[in-house]
Structure 1
Amino acid sequence: PRDIFRYFEVLYPSEEESEEYQKLLIEKRTLGKGELEAISICRYRRYIFSSIDAAALRFADENGVETLELHSILRSLWESSLQSKEEVKEIIAEIEKKDNTSIKDIDAVFR
């Protein structure tokens, strides 16, 4: 499972992004720390933000951060043949297990 990290760059917040994150922690306590830190980085660097958390996606969008839903990412993996349907289902199961959550409308990924 950790092999996936070969494909991603680990980002560290700049001083400005850290200050933004601290403000967001006070301002938006209902969102997780990881989402808030990612939103602050995406906002400054003009990156796209993605999350399972609908409230985090909405907050990012309301704050001018471009968002991408998880379903779109999973669908792209399958449609581009980077991952098979079964592999995408395994990714979904792993996300649900590790985040102790349930991804809604999984069938939409494969329509």
Structure 2
Amino acid sequence: MQLVALTPEELAAIPTLPESSGDGEKECVAVCQGRGWAFLTNDKRARNYYQQTGVEVYYWAGLLRALWESGLKSMF
């Protein structure tokens, strides 16, 4: 994980994203769209919406389950 500054293009994309998304979520999605990165969320509605727009989206619970099933992460 890394902290990045938004580019002018990414900042310009934010107002085009749904009002129902929070500010931080919109910033993350703008970065993911602009850089071709995956978006990780725990919001099913956001996951479904952004998948339809072509963003590569991963659901937090699914990631944790995959880590647990692989033995890389314990549940405790």
Equivalent in the alignment of 2:69: 79
Query: Partners of 2:41 and 2:47 in 1: how far apart?
Result: 6
Aligned-CA RMSD value? 1.5
CA contact (8 A) 2:43 2:59 kept: no
What is the number of residues matched between the two proteins? Answer: 76
What is the percent sequence identity of the aligned residues? 30
**Which runs of no fewer than 5 residues in structure 2 stay unpaired?**
none
The residue type paired with residue 52 of structure 2 is E
Which structure is richer in relative contact order (CA contacts within 8 A, separation 6 or more)? 2
Which residue of 55, 69, 73 corresponds with 1:65? 55
TM-score (norm 1): 0.61
CA contact (8 A) 2:31 2:37 kept: yes
The 5-angstrom pairing of residues 1-111 of structure 1 reads: 8-24=1-17, 28-86=18-76
TM-score (norm 2): 0.84
- Name the structure with the higher helix share: 1
- Name the structure with the higher strand share: 2
